[in-house]
Amino acid sequence: MSDERAAPETTGVGVELLATVDLGPEIQGMEGRQLRTRRVTIEPGGVFGPVHDHRGRPGTVYVLQGTITDHRDGITTDYGPGLGWPEDRNTVHWLENRGTVPAIEISVDVVSNE
């Protein structure tokens, strides 16, 4: 599935919230925002979709196990353990696990408290 417009809905994905920090008291101008850390598991054949962007919620991803295929701008990129990617305001993508073992990532992003 390399066509971004054909990205299926999310299936086979588990998300565990690991930690949050309210950024308002920490950094002036960050009221209503939090730093969030999650562990995301994508089962073999699983999809983290549909196509979504990261406007207003920048972050980074680090792969712990398996391989995650990132689909963006008509290009697919595989990320294995020890690799990761940034997700900024220009990121429009979806993810899948084409492998045979669960893919596990750590995702850290800035999100709205609401």
Output the CA–CA distances (angstroms, integers) from residue 12 to 39, 49, 74, 82, 99, in the order listed: 14, 11, 23, 22, 13
Query: In a 10 Å sphere around its CB, with 0-12 CB exposed, 13-18 middle and 19+ buried, how is residue 44 labelled?
Result: middle
Q: With 80 as the cut, is the pLDDT of residue 64 above it?
A: yes
Into how many domains does the chain fold? 1
Q: Say what the pLDDT of residue 8 is.
A: 81
pLDDT digits (tens, 9 = 90+) for 2-32: 444 566 889 999 999 999 999 999 999 999 9
Could you tell me the two tokens for 42? 């994508």
Cα–Cα distance between 91 and 72 in angstroms, integer? 8
Q: Say what the pLDDT of residue 5 is.
A: 53
Q: Domain residues for 64? A: 4-112
Task: State the CATH number of the domain containing residue 84.
Answer: 2.60.120.10
Q: What is the DSSP pairing of strand 92-96 with strand 11-22?
A: unpaired
| Global confidence as pTM | 0.90
Output the CA–CA distances (angstroms, integers) from residue 86 to 24, 28, 49, 57, in the order listed: 23, 24, 17, 11
Cα–Cα distance between 93 and 5 in angstroms, integer? 10
